[in-house]
Amino acid sequence: MQTIFNKTMLSMGAEVKNHLCPHFEYSRADLFNIIYVKKLDTFTAVMSTCGKDPESVGCELCKPTIGSILASLFNKHIMDKSLNGLQDTNDRFLGNIQRNGTFSVIPRVSGGEITPEKLIIIGTVAKKYGLYCKITGGQRIDMFGAKKGDLLDIWTELVEGGMESGHAYAKSLRTVKSCVGTTWCRFGIGDSVGMAVRLEERYKSIRGPHKFKGGVSGCVRECAEAQNKDFGLIATEKGFNIFVAGNGGAKPKHSELLAKDVAPDDVIPILDRYLAFYIRTGDKLQRTARWLENLPGGIKYLREVILEDKLGIAADLEQQMLDLVGSFFCEWTETIRNPEKRAAFQQFANTEERSETVEQVMDRNQPRPTYWPAESAKEDFRGTKWSSLAWQPMIEATHFSDAATGSSANVKRGDTQLAIFKLKGKYYATQQMCPHKRAFALSDGLLGDSADGKLWVSCPMHKRNYELKGPEAGKCGNDDSVNIAVFQVEEREDGWVYVKLPPVEELDGVLGTEKWKVTTKDSEDPFAKLDEKLKKDSMKGYKGRKVQSESHLTKEEGGLGEMGKAAAILRGEEKNREGGMDW
Ligand code: SF4
Ligand code: FES
């Protein structure tokens, strides 16, 4: 989007600045080089060395970019206190936040190859924690609907079972998709699975300007769709053709040939250089396709840099990649082991209670949150006239850190959820619900400030920015139709953080979770008419879905259906194997 906008502006004769955001007069690539050369390893160091205002807390644009540069260079745990407030919610809780505030769980399945044992573990975990399962485009299994408070238990079971983080939440390598190649396919001329697994294991966890994906096909039939990936290999009689800078997404792009007939043992240095060069020079949130389009000289220049070492930096690029590869660790394993990091995984910081904010429905035998409400909550929360306000102790001050990027908590009082933030020694309190889609998520938002003294929290769902201080506190800076209630808050000598609140019932009457919980009544079924038509027409598709959980065999023929068969397996009663399968 930014690229299209910039090109249009340039064609109109306007000057286009590639600055990261109002806090930095540098592009991402410039900032990367400064951070690299000066070895700046914290946000504070970067802001005080390169920022327009050394004291600024940054914003939702520069914080994740700097977080990603620091990760690309130093690969520290993303939940470390000094880094955590830099990241979007996905990175902060090592899972992609979903519509209802739950998270997705995606263990790594390198090359899409998975053992029956791991499938059993995944199935058992999904069943135990009520998770919705879906196969992703990157050939792995996504488990949706994990509550923040269940994430540690879920991941403990997965890690115990030999699995690790799939980094699906990060701007990093996602997957290297593969076809079966010579492992099974009669047309295969190269071991695509073997190569894909090696590449995914090498580049896993490495963060860049944006996510990047790989693919390997065992022959020109291209079943792995390697030519729409950031890097893709297609087996030839002599090795692999290497393609780069392709993607699907909003503006699909076929990749371009970087090198032909590369022997398997020469693939790694080429990809190391290519990826390290992209990580260094890519713009913020720029995929490799747009990056190559904007690289002066395009693929010809890239070939000169990567294959002919025109810039004399090949060894440096390879060393950078080697350092990153050597620094790998599983972020979930480290989190499970670390009491401080574990403490973040609780829905409310002041109670172990839990509450659901979106009604759950069953669809095709699996749970999912009901659809978003069609309308935002347009109430004037900010202008609410409370009958009286009194100071209430809400949470111990020790919960908050003094990280330069700020810290936050979601607290519960009665049926109302509040967000409390601490930044530079000062506290701010607001309602937890973002009125846009009634998502209870504001405490997970990034904090940002501007030169004119504004301070805001950016909703992690769709980035509505709510002001936190001054006469405009509670206003939304980028959507006039919504606003939020704010409350006075302070830390006292007894070590508690106090918030000035109206009586419980009055607050619940305005902001209670039950009142704003999204239910099936808030939206229409988008398939109502279609299903009616399909039913009437008795079309095959509709019938097909209906019987999917039932067996095509009759009961007399042994048909048990999905639930019956799974239960029989778990009881050790599967057919033809007395006493069950020997594991
Ligand atoms: S790309 Fe070729 S080797 Fe791979 S599955 Fe398809 S036909 Fe087989
Ligand atoms: S729910 Fe959409 S911006 Fe907050």
The Å distance, Cα 105 to ligand 1 centre, comes to 30
The Å distance, Cα 463 to ligand 2 centre, comes to 6
The Å distance, Cα 459 to ligand 2 centre, comes to 6
Best mutation site among 176, 178, 185 for ligand 1 pocket (most ligand atoms within 8 Å of CB):
185
How much is the pLDDT for 16?
56
Q: Is the pLDDT of residue 571 over 90?
A: no
Question: In degrees rounded to 5, what are phi and psi of residue 83?
Answer: -110, -25
What CA–CA distances, in Å, run from 342 to 80, 103, 156, 166, 263?
12, 16, 11, 19, 45
Instruction: Pick the atom of ligand 2 nearest to 479's CA.
Output: 3
Give the mean pLDDT of the chain.
Answer: 92
**Bridge partners, 316 (sequence order):** none
Percent of the chain's residues with pLDDT above 90: 76
Q: Is 377 in the pocket of ligand 2 (CB under 6 A)?
A: no
Mean pLDDT, rounded, for 227-247: 97
The Å distance, Cα 228 to ligand 1 centre, comes to 16
∠ CA 571-574-580, rounded to 5° = 65
What is the phi-psi region of residue 520: left when phi exceeds 0, alpha when psi lies from -120 to 50, beta otherwise?
alpha
Q: Is 437 in the pocket of ligand 2 (CB under 6 A)?
A: yes
How many Å apart are CA 448 and CA 310, to the nearest integer? Answer: 41
Q: Which ligand is nearest the CA of 222, by number? A: 1
Q: Is 442 in the pocket of ligand 2 (CB under 6 A)?
A: no
Between 29-33, 84-88, 308-312, 516-520, the lowest mean confidence (pLDDT) is in 84-88
The Å distance, Cα 442 to ligand 2 centre, comes to 9
In this predicted model, what pLDDT tens digit does every residue of 524-533 receive, in sequence order?
Answer: 999 999 988 8
In this predicted model, what pLDDT tens digit does every residue of 318-374 receive, in sequence order?
Answer: 999 999 999 999 999 999 999 989 988 999 999 999 999 999 999 888 999 999 998
The Å distance, Cα 217 to ligand 1 centre, comes to 6
In this predicted model, what pLDDT tens digit does every residue of 151-168 receive, in sequence order?
Answer: 999 999 999 999 999 999
∠ CA 493-497-502, rounded to 5° = 125
CATH superfamily of 171-329: Sulfite Reductase Hemoprotein, domain 1 (3.30.413.10)
Best mutation site among 176, 177, 179 for ligand 1 pocket (most ligand atoms within 8 Å of CB):
179
How much is the pLDDT for 576?
60
**Bridge partners, 243 (sequence order):** 232, 257
- Architecture of the 361-522 domain: 3-layer Sandwich (2.102)
In this predicted model, what pLDDT tens digit does every residue of 421-433 receive, in sequence order?
Answer: 999 999 999 999 9
How much is the pLDDT for 85?
77
Q: Is 312 helix (H, G, I), strand (E, B) or coil?
A: coil
Residue whose Cα lies nearest atom 2 of ligand 1: it is: 219
Indicate the pTM of the whole model.
Answer: 0.91
pLDDT band (50, 70, 90) for residue 176: very high
Q: Is 179 in the pocket of ligand 1 (CB under 6 A)?
A: yes
How much is the pLDDT for 297?
96
Residue whose Cα lies nearest atom 3 of ligand 2: it is: 462
In this predicted model, what pLDDT tens digit does every residue of 374-396 receive, in sequence order?
Answer: 899 999 999 999 999 999 999 99
Q: Is 459 in the pocket of ligand 2 (CB under 6 A)?
A: yes
Q: For the chain, which residues make up each domain, given as ranges? A: 171-329, 361-522, 528-570
Question: In degrees rounded to 5, what are phi and psi of residue 289?
Answer: -60, -50
Q: Is the pLDDT of residue 113 over 70?
A: yes
Q: Which ligand is nearest the CA of 460, by number? A: 2
In this predicted model, what pLDDT tens digit does every residue of 410-454 receive, in sequence order?
Answer: 999 999 999 999 999 999 999 999 999 999 999 999 999 988 889
Q: Is the pLDDT of residue 404 over 90?
A: no
Q: Is 223 in the pocket of ligand 1 (CB under 6 A)?
A: yes
Tokens of 425: 């020694």
Distance in angstroms between the alpha carbons of the first and the last residue of the chain: 52
How much is the pLDDT for 546?
52
Q: Is 185 in the pocket of ligand 1 (CB under 6 A)?
A: yes
The Å distance, Cα 248 to ligand 1 centre, comes to 20
Q: Which ligand is nearest the CA of 234, by number? A: 1
Residues constituting the chain:
583
How many Å apart are CA 470 and CA 488, to the nearest integer? Answer: 11
pLDDT band (50, 70, 90) for residue 544: very low
Is 171-329's fold the same as 361-522's? no
Q: Is the pLDDT of residue 275 over 50?
A: yes
